[in-house]
Chains A and B, each alone.
Chain A
Amino acid sequence: MEKNEQQLAQEKAEQERQDGLKNLLREYQGSPSVAQIDEWKAVHGEVMMSAMSETELFIFRPLRRFEYRQMQEQATKMQGEGQAFDQGKYEEMLCDVCVLWKSVDTPWEKAKAGTLATLTEQIHQNSNFYSPAAASMLVVKL
C-alpha cells in the first residue's frame, strides 16, 4: 500500500526524533550503542528513555506478566519467611528487572529519594497498568 504524504512526514519526524535521542545518548559515558538499543527492542519489544535531570538518564523496558508474577511470589515467600517486604523493596526489585541502563552508576539506595518511585510509576504506565477510571475509558462495546 502506498504511503501518503502525511504518513511519510510522520515517519520522517519520528526518525529525526530517534536520531536526536541517539545523539544525546552519545554524550554520556558508557551509553548503549544504536546496535545495543536495537537488540533490546528486538528482545523486549519496546524500549523507553526517561531523563530526570541533565545528568540522570534511564533506559528501561516494560514489565512482563511472568516477571510480575514472579515478583509477587517472591514477595509472598519473603513475607512467609519473616523478611520485610515493603513498597521500597518492590520498587528496587522492579527497577533491577526493567532498567536496562542508567547514566549515573550509583546504587539505588544512594540515588535521590524520589528516583525509584518515579521510575516505578513510569515503568507501570508503560506496562499498561491503568487506574480504574482510565481502564474503563479503554472499553468499547460492539
Chain B
Amino acid sequence: MVSNEILHSLFDQYGHVYLTIFSDTLIIPWNVLSIEDYIECSRYKQFGTMPISEIEEYIFKKYVLDKDIVKVFEYLPAGVISTVSANIWESSFPLSLNQLSTDLDLARAELVSPDMKIYHEMISLILQAFPYKPEEIYLMDYATLMERFSQAEDKLLRQGFLQKPVSFSVPKETKKIEQMKQENTMKAKEYVDNIIKHKTESKTKLIDRDIKPNENHIDQFEHTKKWWKTSPILEADKRAKKNIDVNAEAAEITATAMTGWEKEDKYLQQSELQKRAKVIYKDVLQTLDKQKKASTIKSGK
C-alpha cells in the first residue's frame, strides 16, 4: 500500500496524472495519449505494420513522465512496459461505443447546463471571429476575455454573421414561465388557506351543535361479529328475506349448458354426485344440520 506522502509528493511534482503502482519502489506516472498518437497506433495495430512490443515501447517512452525510468526501461521487468502501455491505451479513448456515447452525453450536458452554457457560448463567439485555439482562450483573464468578446461581436456584426448585439438578459419565454409559476404558487396557497379556514369553522360548528349518535344507525362491527358466529349460508337466507330456490337456479343453468344426451343423463349424474357428496362431506352436512336446528330453536323462542 503506497503512503499518502508519496502520492502527495508525486502530485506536487507532476500534477493531475495517472499512476501505475507495482510496488512502493516502482511507481510509474503517465499521461494519456494524444488523439493523433492514438489513431496512429491503432493503425499500426490493425494492419500489423509494427510489432506490438515496439508500439508498447513507443507509448511508454513518450507518455511516461519519469524520464529516469524511461532511460533504464530496457532493464525493467518486461511486463512493466506492457502493463503501463495497456493502462495508457485504455485510458486514452473509450473501449466501447456505449462508453463513447456516455462520455458524449456528459460533454453535451456541460454545454447546455445553465451555469456553464454562457462561458462556452462566449468562447465559441471569439473562436468564430479570431483564429484562437480554445486552450489559448482558457488562459485569458476576465478583462482580456471581455475585450476579445466585444471585439468578436463587433467584427461579426460588421460582417453580417450577427444580426444584433449579444444580450445577456433572461429570455422572455423564461420570464413568462417564471411568472406563471409564481401565480400558480399564489393560487395554491390561497386554496390551502381556504380549506384550513373552512375546516376550522366546521369544527367550531360541530362543537356548538353537540351532535348525538343516531340510534337507528347499524353498527357495522356488530353486524360482522354476528355474521361470523353462524353459518353464512343460512344467514344469507335471512338477510335476503326470501328462500333461494337452488333447483330453479340449477335448472336455469343446465338449460343453457347441456345438450341432448347430457340432458338425458343429467338425473343419473346428479344422483351419482349426491351419493358421493354425502360420503365426502358427511361431517359438514351434519354440522350444518345441527346449526339449522339450533337457529330454528332460537327463532322459535
A interface list, Cβ under 8 A from B: 62-69, 72, 76, 124, 126-130, 132, 135-136, 138-142
Chain B CB within 10 Å, residue with most, of A67, A76, A124, A130:
A130
29 CB contacts below 8 A, A to B, read A62-B78, A64-B74, A65-B73, A65-B75, A65-B77, A65-B78, A65-B80, A66-B74, A67-B78, A68-B53, A127-B79, A128-B76, A128-B77, A129-B78, A129-B83, A135-B83, A136-B90, A138-B20, A138-B87, A139-B19, A139-B87, A140-B18, A141-B18, A141-B19, A142-B10, A142-B11, A142-B14, A142-B16, A142-B18
Find out whether the CB atom of A128 lies under 8 angstroms from the CB atom of B79: yes
Contact indicator A140/B79 (Cβ below 8 Å): no
Q: A138-B20, A140-B21, A142-B15 are in contact. Are A130 and B83 (CB under 8 A)?
A: yes
Q: Give chain B's interface secondary structure class.
A: helix
Least Cβ–Cβ distance between B238 and chain A, in angstroms: 76
Which B residues are in CB contact (< 8 Å) with A68? Answer: 53, 78
- Is B287 part of the binding interface, using a Cβ–Cβ cutoff of 8 Å? no
B window 45-91: CB within 8 A of A = 51, 53, 57, 73-83, 86-87, 90-91
- Interface size for B (C-beta < 8 A) is 32
B285 within 8 A of A: no
A142 near B7: Cβ-Cβ < 8 Å: yes
From the candidates B10, B20, B51, B73, name the one contacting A139 in the complex (CB within 8 A): B20
Kindly name the residue among B14, B78, B81, B83 whose own CB sees the greatest number of chain A CB atoms within 10 A.
B78
* Known contacts A62-B77, A65-B74, A66-B74; 12 further A-B pairs (Cβ under 8 A): A63-B79, A65-B80, A126-B77, A127-B78, A128-B76, A128-B83, A129-B83, A138-B83, A139-B20, A140-B7, A140-B19, A142-B17
Q: Give Cα A138 to B23, complex, Å.
A: 10
- With beta carbons under 8 angstroms apart, the residue of A63, A72, A140 that contacts B51 is A72
Residues of B73-119 whose CB lies within 8 A of A: 73-83, 86-87, 90-91
CB nearest to A75 among chain B residues = B51
B residues lining the A interface (CB < 8 Å): 2, 7, 10-11, 14-22, 29, 51, 53, 57, 73-83, 86-87, 90-91
- CB of A129 within 8 A of CB of B91, answer no
Point out the residues of chain B lying under 8 angstroms from A132, CB to CB. 86, 90
Nearest chain B CB to A99's CB is how many angstroms away?
15
Bound Cα distance A72, B54 (Å): 10
Q: For B20, B22, B82, B83, which residue has the most chain A Cβ atoms within 10 angstroms? A: B83
Q: Which residues of A contact B10 (CB under 8 A)?
A: 142
Is A135 touching B80 in the complex (CB atoms < 8 A)? no
- Please give me the residue from chain B that is nearest to A135 by CB atom: B83
Interface-central residue, A65, A67, A129, A132, by most chain B CB under 10 Å = A65
Contacts of A136 in B (CB 8 A): 87, 90
Which A residues touch B19, using CB under 8 A? 139-142
Min Cβ gap B250→A in Å is 73
A65 touches B18 (CB 8 A): no
List of A residues within 8 angstroms of B76 by Cβ: 64-65, 128
* B22 and A138 contacting across the interface, CB-CB below 8 Å: yes
Residues in chain A near residue B51, CB distance under 8 A: 72, 76
Which chain A residues lie closer than 8 Å to B75 at the CB level?
Answer: 64-66
Q: What's the Cα separation between A142 and B12 when bound, in Å? A: 10
